[in-house]
Structure 1
Amino acid sequence: MPSQITQSPWQTAALLIARLIFAGVFLMAVTFKFTGMEATAGYIAAAGFPFALLLAWCAAILEVALVLCFLTGAFFTQAALVAAAYVLFLGFAFHGPSHWAGNQAEFGFFVDHFSFLAGLLFAAVHGPGRVLSLNLGWPGRA
């Protein structure tokens, strides 16, 4: 029988705020994709990926799903792990070592992805919290 971990009010609030921040970040990203899908496809193509428009749409659909999971808490742990893998991929594909020559800002963008990755991994471990959460996901796990 899985045990319920008691959370203090500040822990509950922190988890909810983190969920809202994650949802907000991906909501901004998907909004930019939907309002400029051709530009997103161009950015993907410039990085050397084939089928850029298809990949842009796949990324947008994934980001919509992530927003819904983070807002509702449904499948939260799985969504956080998928988002972590996605962020790691984005960091290397679009801001990795091959982009650093002559552009120090790209290194900063690359490092920022690891901060976000760390937050997503912490979120995956701690779950969605008790407030405004559907708590769907793996059996015995929030």
Structure 2
Amino acid sequence: MVSVQSPWQTTAVLLARLIFAAVFLMAVAFKVMDMGATAGYIASAGFPFPLLLAWCAALLEAVLVICFLTGAFFTPAALVAGVYVIFLNFAFHGPSHWAGNQAEFGFFVDHFTFLAGLLFAAVHGPGNVLASRLGRG
């Protein structure tokens, strides 16, 4: 069953999808522009195989961009993105980082608002306009 959305709801859903896609597209772009710096940042957090992990992260983020733009596999993509965002949050902005830089606490909290948006999107789906039917049950 497809629910009918008002024009403002359709616009809001499309705008939200564009924002999600833009955030992950920027992340991919920064990684690709300097994969060595990304790998260095990953290594500084103590993770093994930093260059491999950097490329895996860029690939995941590129797939998320495609899912958010097309609406394909939207709910699983939003859930995966939420898990990814919270993992990154604790790994790179968690409590161990707060003492050295108080702004890290702000980054930490902000990631939870992003998670809230992703969870809301996962529940409500990609909307009825410009949304692929792939991955919908």
TM-score range relative to shorter protein: over 0.9
Task: Give the C-alpha shift of residue 72 in structure 1.
Answer: 0.5
1:9 to 3, 7, 10: 7
Task: Give the C-alpha shift of residue 6 in structure 1.
Answer: 2.0
Structure 1 contact 19–71 (Cα < 8 Å) conserved: yes
**Aligned residues: CA RMSD:** 0.8
Match of 1:134 in 2: 132
Q: Which moved more, 1:61-70 or 1:126-135?
A: 126-135
Structure 2 unmatched runs, 5+: none
- Percent identical: 77
Structure 2 contact 89–108 (Cα < 8 Å) conserved: yes
Structure 1 contact 128–135 (Cα < 8 Å) conserved: no
1:28-39 alignment to 2 at 5 Å?
A: 28-39=26-37
1:84-95 alignment to 2 at 5 Å?
A: 84-95=82-93
CA deviations on 1:36-58 (whole Å, 9 max, x unpaired) are 00000000000010100000000
Match of 1:24 in 2: 22
Task: Give the C-alpha shift of residue 11 in structure 1.
Answer: 1.0
Q: Normalized against structure 1, the TM-score is what? A: 0.94
Q: AA paired with 2:26?
A: M
Structure 2 contact 39–53 (Cα < 8 Å) conserved: yes
Match of 1:52 in 2: 50
Structure 1 unmatched runs, 5+: none
Aligned length: 137
